[in-house]
Amino acid sequence: MAFLKGPNGEDVLPIKINGKPEPLDMNRVFPVVSSAQDKIVHYAQSATPEQAIRASESSYEAFLKWRQTTHTYRRDFILRAADLIESRRDKFVEIQVLETSCPLTWAQFNVQLITGCFREIAANISQATTGELPPLESPGALALVYQEPIGPVLAISPWNASMVISGRALAAPIAAGCSVVFKASELAPRVHHYIVETLEDAGLPAGLVNILQAARDHSPAVTEAIIAHRAIRKIEFTGSAAVGRIIGQVASKYLKPVLMELGGKAPAVVLKDADPKHAASKIIEGALLHHGQICMSTDRIVVVQDVAEPLIAELQSYLTAHYPNGAGYAVTKAQATRAHNLLINAQKAGARFLIGDASLRGASLTPTIITDVNSTHAIFHEEIFAPAAILTIVKDENEAIKVANETQHGLNAAVHSRDVLAALRVAKQIEAGQVHIGSITEYDEANIPIGGTKDSGWGRNNGKYALREFLVEKTITIHDPVANGNSFGTGK
């Protein structure tokens, strides 16, 4: 791991531009804290706007060369990188747990899914970059429609799925022929640096990925400096809707397109003929996975009254049997406290705890299910992002659909029913990018599209869908000067 040493022996993650670490400025160094261990585990250098500009310039120079590579060359590179990531599984798992305090199983899953994402992207390069020969009306004319890389990309990745989201944010544009300025998460910079280091060991050219991170108070100026740079042609951002709005506003100021995957408030809809035991297992796993810190986490339970009582009993039973010691840790104490306050404030305003009491133990929130929540409560609108969910009892299928759609978010959802046709009917009416029947709300695979509707963003990730986001059509026409009818604009 490419740490630099501070004056007192501190391990500091640097800014890397054109493959080389920038000199340390100890006045712009910030700590990275493990919430599970409640201690500083290392430090990271916070970028300046000037460094952001140089990273963008370096990225453009690398792009001019990389865009000339063949699709097979890029495919082979992505496959080598996947193999190398897989071979370093244990180290990647260790670093994820260290920085984000995630469960061991979640860290292992991240390695597994990102290698799958890399390989699926590699498998689709030939198809995605294939152009067209559309027919023309003009005699003796030929049109060539190429698929070209859009150009240097700013990728801004979060900490909560620190390998999956950042890995595909790098693999798709690189496979398409683009370069990347990679803004690593300030909460998981070592994971992100190790991914880039692994890509370098797989043969990544210098400057093709320039990695920097910024402390929270430095981040707005650094981000705008990159977006404003003429070299940057697209932004990929995964994070909260609140920050997404800011990114979108800045990008529109400079007329830059954005691929956004934002927050969610995923409903798990339980229809009258559902199996309560099966539904409860998927709901609890969906709400508690990684301490509920996934944008696709089960945030709401919408249950038809016919099956409400047995479902609640099964939820309690599954939680007691499988999570006797809680659901792990939030990435920071502040994150756990925010969720705690949302729940307690709702309770004070009339909501009721069905399961759990929203109590805190350091950075760990007690798994909690709350009911009698209404639109005057902040928790009704805001993503909880913790091992907690809102349970709402409805009279029938139609009301379930209405309640499921009573949110500005539209990322993921789940439907539980023994009647597949009924489940499909409901799934088609839920306003979300992905709806999973009989599974957890977070379900994802490397070859299916993922993305949001409404306030959960736009564009799609994974496989061929991600590649398309970083390719643009370019049309070249050829005209025979002696062909009859070559008189565009004359009306003849």
Block residue for tokens 């040493």: 5
Sequence-distant (≥ 6) Cβ neighbours of residue 59 within 8 angstroms: 152, 179, 180, 181, 207, 208, 210, 231, 232
50, 221 in Cβ contact below 8 A?
Answer: no
Could you give the residue ranges of the DSSP H alpha helices within 101-240?
104-123, 125-128, 164-176, 189-201, 219-228
Tell me how crowded residue 80 is: count the other CB atoms within 10 A of its CB: 18
Task: Return the H-helix or E-strand segment holding 84.
Answer: helix 71-87
CB-based burial label for 27 (10 Å; 0-12, 13-18, 19+): exposed
Side chain identity at residue 189, one-letter code: P
Of the residues 22, 57, 120, 261, only one is catalytic, namely: 261
Q: Is 413 helix (H, G, I), strand (E, B) or coil?
A: strand
259, 251 in Cβ contact below 8 A?
Answer: no
Task: Return the H-helix or E-strand segment holding 341.
Answer: helix 333-348
In sign, the C-alpha dihedral spanning 17, 80, 71, 156 is negative
Q: List the beta bridge partners of residue 45.
A: 29
Task: Return the H-helix or E-strand segment holding 34.
Answer: strand 29-34
> Considering only CA atoms, which of 92, 162, 82, 84 is closest in space to residue 119?
82
Q: 89-100 vs 71-87: helix axis angle to the nearest 10?
A: 70
> Considering only CA atoms, which of 125, 204, 199 is closest in space to residue 163?
199
The string of DSSP letters for 242-284 reads: HHHHHHHHHHHHTT--EEEE----EEEEE-TTS-HHHHHHHHH
Q: Which two tokens stand for residue 207?
A: 């400057």
Buried b / exposed e across 164-192, counting CB within 10 Å, b at 16+? bbbbbbbbbbbbbbbbbbbbbbbbbbbbb
Residue 261 catalytic?
A: yes
159, 188 in Cβ contact below 8 A?
Answer: yes
Point out the residues that are catalytic: 261
